[in-house]
C-alpha cells in the first residue's frame, strides 16, 4: 500500500511539474537599444541618467563584460539573432543580406514562434534600412505582429532657447532638442505600441516581445526636457594623454561616419556628448514605460527581461565619435538579464560574455530546445553564480576604411585586448586592462609581450573571419 501511495505521489508530482512547465513557459521581453555604450548609471562609471534601466538591473544580473561580435548594426544583429558568428553569417556590413547568405536561416524570434510563442516586434530588431523606412532586412517569418519603422523626419521644431553650437554639418542634423512630446518621436511610438500589445496579448500563449529603440542612434533628437537633465557647462570631455593616438595603427583611427565631422571645437564636443546623453535618457524613459506595463499587468514573475544594445559608441575617446571601432567603448555593450527564479537582486557578473550567448540563454531559460547552429553559450550558470565563467575570451570584429579596406579582429580576455588589422599587416594592438583600462598604451611592439601575443593570436584564429590575403606588392 505504501508503495502504491509513493508511486501515486511520484506520478502526480511528475505530471504536475511537466504540466506546469508545459502550461506556463516564461514570456520573453527583449529590449534592444541602438548604438548604446555602457556608460549608464547602473554601470557605475555612468554619465547617463537611466533610472529605469538601473531599476531593472537592481532586480536582475548585470554583465560587466559583455561584448558585441561586430560593432555595426546589421552584422551585430544578424549574429545575435541567429546565435552565429559573423564568420558564419558572412554579414559584415549593412548591405549584406543574412537571408541571401544563408537561405532558410533560422532566427531567434522565428524559432520561438515555431515553438508556440506569440512573437511581436515594436521598432528595430533586425537591421532595417534606417532611416529610409525600408524593412527589407527584417525576417518576415519571425513575427505575428510588427510595427513599421518610420523615421520622424521632418524632425520636430527645435526649442527656441536650445543651446546653439554651430555643427558644421552640411546635410541633415547632428542633434536637436525639440519642442515635442515623447510620442512624437519613433521611440515613444514603439513604447506605446508595445504597451498596447501587452495589454491586448493572447494570454493563452507565452509571448516573445522584442522592442527595438532607435536612440541613441544618430541623429540625436529628443524632447528638450531630456537635454535639461544635462547642463551644458557640466559636460566633461575625455581626459586622455596628448600622445594617445600616436601608437594607434591608422586603420583603427579612421572610419568616421561621413558628414559627422562636427566635433572640432570643445563646445561642439560638449554639445555632441550632451545630445547623446539626452537621447539615452529619452530611450530609458521609453524602456521604463514598457517595464512598468510588465509590472502593472502582473507579468514580472512570468517574464524574462533582457536589456541590451547592438554595440557601443565613442564619445571622443581616442578622438573617435562613432561605432565600428575595436576599442572597449565600442565593442562593449550593456547587457542585463532579469529571469524569474534565476539570479537577481542586482548582482553583477564579471564573466566575459558575448551577444551570441543571447539565443542559447533564452532557450535554456524557457525550455525551448537550442538549434544546432548555435555558436554561443547559455549564461544560466552565470545568473546563478556571478563568479561562474562562460568564456576564456570573447571576439569582436570590424571592417573599416574608405580608400582601402581593413578587416580588424580583436580578442578580449579578462586581462588583455589584442587587435590585428588585415591579419597584422596593417597594425597590431595590445592593451593590458589590469594596468590600462582605457587602452592608452599599445604594448604590441614590446618584445616582453611576444609570448602573450602569440597565444592570443592562436585563440583568435578559429573564432574570427579569415582576413583577405595580401594583394601582390603589399
The CB-of-50 to Ca ion minimum distance in angstroms stands at: 18
73 is catalytic: yes
Residue span 340-369 as binding mask against Ca ion, x where in contact by CB under 5 A, dash where not: ------------------------------
* Of 170, 169, 327, the residue nearest 263 (C-alpha): 169
How many residues make contact with Ca ion (CB under 5 A)? 7
The CB-of-128 to Ca ion minimum distance in angstroms stands at: 11
* Of 438, 464, 220, 178, the residue nearest 322 (C-alpha): 220
Give the whole-angstrom CA distance, residue 277 versus residue 271: 10
Residue span 405-444 as binding mask against Ca ion, x where in contact by CB under 5 A, dash where not: -----------------------------------x----
Candidate segments 68-76, 139-147, 227-235, 346-354, binder of Ca ion by CB under 5 A: 68-76
Residue span 73-112 as binding mask against Ca ion, x where in contact by CB under 5 A, dash where not: x---------------------------------------
| Of 25, 27, 32, 35, the one binding Ca ion by CB under 5 A | 35
Candidate segments 60-68, 218-226, 306-314, 356-364, binder of Ca ion by CB under 5 A: 306-314
What are 95-98's contacts with CB under 8 Å, separation 24+? 97/137, 98/74, 98/126, 98/137, 98/139
Q: Which residue, 96 or 244, is less far from Ca ion as judged by CB?
A: 244
Give the whole-angstrom CA distance, residue 81 versus residue 38: 20
Q: What angle in degrees, to the nearest 10, is found between the helix axes of 186-200 and 266-296?
A: 10
Q: Select the residue whose beta carbon is closest to Ca ion and give its number.
A: 73
Give the whole-angstrom CA distance, residue 125 versus residue 30: 9
Sign of CA dihedral 171, 173, 179, 185: positive
Residue 33 gets which letter from DSSP?
Answer: E
Residue span 226-265 as binding mask against Ca ion, x where in contact by CB under 5 A, dash where not: ------------------x--x------------------
Give the whole-angstrom CA distance, residue 260 versus residue 133: 21
127 is catalytic: yes
Cα distances (Å, whole numbers) of residue 350 to 45, 204, 235, 340: 15, 38, 29, 21
Which position among 68, 72, 127, 318 bears the catalytic label?
127
Residues at the contact surface with Ca ion, assessed by CB under 5 A: 34-35, 73, 244, 247, 310, 440
Amino acid at each position: 500500500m505504501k508503495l502504491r501511495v509513493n508511486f501515486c505521489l511520484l506520478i502526480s508530482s511528475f505530471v504536475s511539474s511537466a504540466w506546469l512547465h508545459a502550461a506556463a513557459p516564461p514570456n520573453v521581453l527583449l529590449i534592444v537599444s541602438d548604438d548604446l555604450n555602457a556608460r549608464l548609471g547602473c554601470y557605475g562609471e555612468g554619465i547617463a541618467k537611466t533610472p529605469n534601466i538601473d531599476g531593472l538591473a537592481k532586480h536582475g544580473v548585470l554583465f560587466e563584460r559583455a561584448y558585441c561580435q561586430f560593432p555595426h548594426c546589421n552584422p551585430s544583429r544578424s549574429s545575435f539573432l541567429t546565435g552565429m558568428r559573423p564568420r558564419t553569417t558572412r554579414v559584415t556590413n549593412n548591405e549584406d543580406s543574412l537571408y541571401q547568405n544563408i537561405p532558410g536561416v533560422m532566427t531567434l524570434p522565428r524559432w520561438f514562434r515555431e515553438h508556440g510563442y506569440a512573437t511581436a516586434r515594436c521598432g528595430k530588431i533586425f537591421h532595417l534600412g534606417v532611416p529610409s523606412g525600408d524593412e527589407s532586412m527584417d525576417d518576415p517569418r519571425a513575427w505575428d505582429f510588427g510595427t513599421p519603422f518610420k523615421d520622424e523626419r521632418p524632425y520636430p521644431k527645435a526649442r527656441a532657447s536650445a543651446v546653439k553650437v554651430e555643427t558644421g554639418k552640411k546635410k541633415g542634423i547632428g542633434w536637436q532638442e525639440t519642442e515635442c512630446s515623447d510620442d512624437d518621436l519613433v521611440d515613444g511610438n514603439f513604447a506605446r505600441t508595445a504597451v498596447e500589445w501587452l495589454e491586448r496579448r493572447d494570454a493563452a500563449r507565452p509571448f516573445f516581445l522584442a522592442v527595438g529603440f532607435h536612440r541613441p542612434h544618430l541623429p540625436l533628437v529628443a524632447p528638450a526636457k531630456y537635454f535639461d537633465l544635462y547642463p551644458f557647462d557640466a559636460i566633461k570631455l575625455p581626459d586622455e594623454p596628448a600622445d594617445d593616438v600616436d601608437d594607434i595603427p591608422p586603420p583603427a583611427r579612421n572610419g568616421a561616419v561621413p558628414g559627422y565631422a562636427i566635433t572640432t571645437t570643445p563646445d561642439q564636443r560638449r554639445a555632441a556628448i550632451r545630445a547623446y546623453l539626452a537621447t539615452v535618457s529619452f530611450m530609458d524613459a521609453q524602456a521604463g514605460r514598457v517595464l512598468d506595463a510588465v509590472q502593472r499587468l502582473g507579468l514580472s514573475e512570468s517574464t524574462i527581461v533582457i536589456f541590451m544594445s547592438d554595440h557601443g559608441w565613442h564619445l571622443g575617446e581616442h578622438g573617435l565619435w562613432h561605432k565600428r571601432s575595436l576599442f572597449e567603448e565600442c565593442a562593449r555593450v550593456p547587457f542585463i538579464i532579469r529571469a524569474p527564479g534565476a539570479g537577481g537582486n542586482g548582482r553583477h557578473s564579471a564573466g566575459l560574455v558575448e551577444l551570441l550567448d543571447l539565443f542559447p540563454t533564452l532557450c535554456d531559460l524557457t525550455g525551448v530546445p537550442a538549434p544546432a547552429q548555435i555558436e554561443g553559450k547559455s549564461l544560466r550558470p552565470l545568473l546563478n553564480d556571478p563568479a561562474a565563467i562562460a568564456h576564456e575570451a570573447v571576439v569582436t570584429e570590424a571592417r573599416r576604411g574608405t580608400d582601402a579596406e581593413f578587416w580588424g579582429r580583436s580578442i578580449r580576455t579578462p586581462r588583455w585586448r589584442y587587435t590585428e588589422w588585415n591579419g597584422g599587416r596593417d597594425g597590431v594592438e595590445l592593451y593590458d586592462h589590469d594596468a590600462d583600462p582605457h587602452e592608452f598604451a599599445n604594448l604590441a611592439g614590446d618584445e616582453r609581450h611576444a609570448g602573450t601575443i602569440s597565444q592570443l593570436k592562436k585563440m583568435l584564429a578559429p573564432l574570427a573571419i579569415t582576413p583577405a590575403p595580401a594583394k601582390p606588392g603589399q
